[in-house]
Amino acid sequence: MTQWVFDLGNSRVKCAPLQADGTLGPMLAFAYDDALLAALDAEVPATVAREASTAVLASVASPERTATVVDWLTTRFGTVSIARTQAALAGVRIAYAEPVRMGVDRFLALLAARRRGAGAWLVVGVGTAVTVDLLDAQGRHHGGRIAPSPRLMRDALHAAAAQLPAQGGDYVEFATDTADALASGCEGAALGLIERSLEQACETLGQRPALLLHGGGAPALAAQLREGEMAPGLVLEGLAVWARLGTDA
């Protein structure tokens, strides 16, 4: 059986093969552009026995982008499964009264955190948005937060005031030029959200959770944090858990 997992985000597709022990093989990433399908054709090997191959995907992308990738997957894999948020799976219990309203990427990141260890976790994703979710040592989700990412903040400011550059600048505590002030303000807003969430998590749980960071914008924030573990493939790790258990739940 050949099995791959695919994470369709807002800005790119990430994927990886699953090894025999359920862990991820080498991770690949592709931008959404006119060359996407050609890149997938070139990098994702065709299987000898198509009927014995499976693709499992999660998507927060637009319906059009999702349909494009799903159509491609059906030409390469015998079975295509789409992960959905569930009320409980693999020791994780979601706080949402209507689990379907919670983004599947957040749900899968929690599954992956739980698989890494039974302690408490604050899981932070940094992509188009910053998402923060608290998971206690018993696997109970206490809810979370969603905010614009630093990149989205910069884009919004530039759209509202074209003289403010959408890119550039470095993080400093008190900037002396506009580019640095923008970088510091937008990154600082996300850092403040993470740091406050850690403080509130301590009050809620009576212990400090481990901080787990993922997403394309996470490395820039991690450089300014005193703690935190980077997990670039966290959603794919969660998909590996879902691929093993989700369809039977």
Q: Is 232 left (phi over 0), alpha (psi -120 to 50) or beta?
A: alpha
Catalytic residue flag (residue 248): no
8 A C-beta contact, residue 219 and residue 230: yes
Which DSSP symbol is given to 20? T
Longest dimension (CA), the chain: 61
Cβ burial of 26 (10 Å; 0-12, 13-18, 19+) is: exposed
Q: Which residues contact 74 (CB under 8 A, 6 or more apart)?
A: 80
Which DSSP symbol is given to 24? B
Which DSSP symbol is given to 65? H
CA trace torsion 24, 29, 35, 38 (10° rounding): -20
8 A C-beta contact, residue 208 and residue 140: no
Q: Which is catalytic among the residues 41, 71, 105, 133?
A: 105
Q: What residues act catalytically?
A: 105
